Chains A and B, each alone.
Chain A
Amino acid sequence: MVSTLVARLRHAGALTGLALLLGPLLVLALPAATAVAQDVETISGRFRFEGEPVVGVRVTVTEEASGAVLEGVSGEDGRWEVPLPGPGTYVVTVDTATLPDGVGLRDPERTSVEVRVLENASAAAVFALGEAVDAGSDLLRRILQNGLNGLKFGLIIGMTSVGLSLIFGTTGLVNFAHGDLVTIGAFAAFFLNVTLGLPLLLAAPIAVAFGGLVAGALDRGLWRPMRRQSAGLISMLVVSIGLAFVLRHIVLLFFGGSRLAYADYSLQTAMRFGLIRVTPVELWVMGLSIAMLVGVGLMLTRTRLGKSMRAVSDNRDLAESSGIDVQRVILSVWVLGGMLTAVGGVFLGVIESVDYLMGFRLLLLMFAGVILGGLGSAYGAMVGGLVVGFVSEVSTVWFSSQIKYVWALLVLIIILLVRPQGILGRRERFG
Chain B
Amino acid sequence: MIETLFFDALRSAVGPTAATYALLAIGLNIHFGYTGLLNFGQVGFMLVGAYGLAITVSVFGGSVWLGVVVGILAAVALSLVLGLPTLRLRADYLAITTIAAGEILRFLVRNTSSDPFTGSVFGLRQFAGDFYAISPFSGGSDYLGPLRFSANRMWVTSVGWGLVLVLSLGVWALMRSPWGRVLRSIREDEDAARSLGKNVFLYKMQSLVLGGVIGAIGGIVFILALQNVTPDMFLPQVTFFAFAIMILGGTGTVLGPVLGSILFWFLLTGLQSGVRTLVDSGAIPGVAGGQAVGAVSLIAVGLMLMLLMIFRPQGILGDREELRLDVK
Query: Does B222 have its Cβ within 8 Å of any Cβ on chain A?
Result: no
Asked if A249 meets B299 with Cβ closer than 8 Å, knowing A235-B309, A364-B99, A413-B97, the reply is yes
On whether the beta carbons of A430 and B89 are closer than 8 Å, the reply is: yes
Interface positions of B from 93 to 116, Cβ below 8 Å from A: 93, 95-97, 99-101, 103-104, 107-108, 110-113
Chain A min CB distance to B289 (Å): 11
Within 8 Å by CB of B100, from A232, A249, A253, A413, lies A413
Chain B min CB distance to A430 (Å): 6
- CB neighbours (8 Å) of A242 from chain B are 244, 301-307, 309
**Interface-lining segment among B12-20, B47-55, B131-139, B320-328:** B320-328
Interface positions of A from 140 to 175, Cβ below 8 Å from B: 174
Interface positions of A from 222 to 274, Cβ below 8 Å from B: 226, 231-235, 237-239, 241-246, 248-250, 252-254, 256-257
Query: Does B88 have its Cβ within 8 Å of any Cβ on chain A?
Result: yes
Tell me the bound Cα distance from A242 to B247 in angstroms: 12
Number of interface residues of B (CB under 8 A): 54
B-facing mask of A363-389, CB < 8 A → 1, else 0?
A: 010011001000000000000000000
Asked if A253 meets B295 with Cβ closer than 8 Å, knowing A226-B310, A232-B326, A238-B309, the reply is yes
On whether the beta carbons of B243 and A416 are closer than 8 Å, the reply is: no
Query: Does A431 have its Cβ within 8 Å of any Cβ on chain B?
Result: yes
Interface positions of A from 340 to 398, Cβ below 8 Å from B: 360, 364, 367-368, 371
On whether the beta carbons of B306 and A243 are closer than 8 Å, the reply is: yes
On whether the beta carbons of A416 and B97 are closer than 8 Å, the reply is: yes
Asked if A253 meets B103 with Cβ closer than 8 Å, knowing A402-B111, A416-B85, A431-B88, the reply is no
Interface positions of A from 165 to 219, Cβ below 8 Å from B: 174
- CB neighbours (8 Å) of A245 from chain B are 237, 240, 298-299, 301-302, 305
Within 8 Å by CB of A420, from B89, B104, B303, B324, lies B89
A-facing mask of B77-99, CB < 8 A → 1, else 0?
A: 00000001110111111011101
Chain A min CB distance to B101 (Å): 8
Within 8 Å by CB of B325, from A232, A257, A406, A430, lies A232
Asked if A239 meets B309 with Cβ closer than 8 Å, knowing A410-B104, A431-B89, the reply is yes
Closest to B38 in A: A234
Query: Does B67 have its Cβ within 8 Å of any Cβ on chain A?
Result: no
Query: Does A405 have its Cβ within 8 Å of any Cβ on chain B?
Result: yes
Tell me the bound Cα distance from A239 to B313 in angstroms: 10
- CB neighbours (8 Å) of B304 from chain A are 242
Query: Does A6 have its Cβ within 8 Å of any Cβ on chain B?
Result: no
Query: Does A409 have its Cβ within 8 Å of any Cβ on chain B?
Result: yes
On whether the beta carbons of A241 and B93 are closer than 8 Å, the reply is: no
- CB neighbours (8 Å) of A174 from chain B are 92, 95-96
Chain B min CB distance to A13 (Å): 46
Within 8 Å by CB of B240, from A241, A254, A403, lies A241
- CB neighbours (8 Å) of A431 from chain B are 88-90
Query: Does A412 have its Cβ within 8 Å of any Cβ on chain B?
Result: yes
Please report whether the interface of chain B is mostly helix, strand, loop or mixed according to DSSP. Answer: helix
Query: Does B294 have its Cβ within 8 Å of any Cβ on chain A?
Result: yes
Query: Does A417 have its Cβ within 8 Å of any Cβ on chain B?
Result: yes
Chain A min CB distance to B323 (Å): 9
- CB neighbours (8 Å) of B305 from chain A are 238-239, 241-242, 245
On whether the beta carbons of A406 and B108 are closer than 8 Å, the reply is: yes
Closest to A360 in B: B236
Query: Does B195 have its Cβ within 8 Å of any Cβ on chain A?
Result: no
Interface positions of B from 144 to 175, Cβ below 8 Å from A: none
Query: Does A66 have its Cβ within 8 Å of any Cβ on chain B?
Result: no
Tell me the bound Cα distance from A298 to B111 in angstroms: 43
Chain A min CB distance to B260 (Å): 14
Tell me the bound Cα distance from A410 to B299 in angstroms: 31
Query: Does B292 have its Cβ within 8 Å of any Cβ on chain A?
Result: yes
Binding site for A on B (CB under 8 A): 38, 40, 84-86, 88-93, 95-97, 99-101, 103-104, 107-108, 110-113, 236-237, 240, 243-244, 247, 287-288, 291-292, 294-296, 298-299, 301-307, 309-310, 313, 324-327
Listed A/B pairs (24) with beta-carbon separation below 8 Å: A232-B325, A233-B92, A234-B38, A235-B310, A235-B313, A237-B38, A237-B92, A239-B306, A242-B244, A243-B306, A245-B240, A245-B298, A245-B305, A249-B296, A250-B299, A253-B291, A253-B299, A364-B103, A403-B108, A406-B107, A406-B108, A413-B97, A416-B89, A416-B93
* Other contacts beyond A402-B107, A402-B112: 7, CB < 8 A: A238-B309, A242-B306, A249-B302, A250-B299, A252-B294, A253-B296, A416-B85
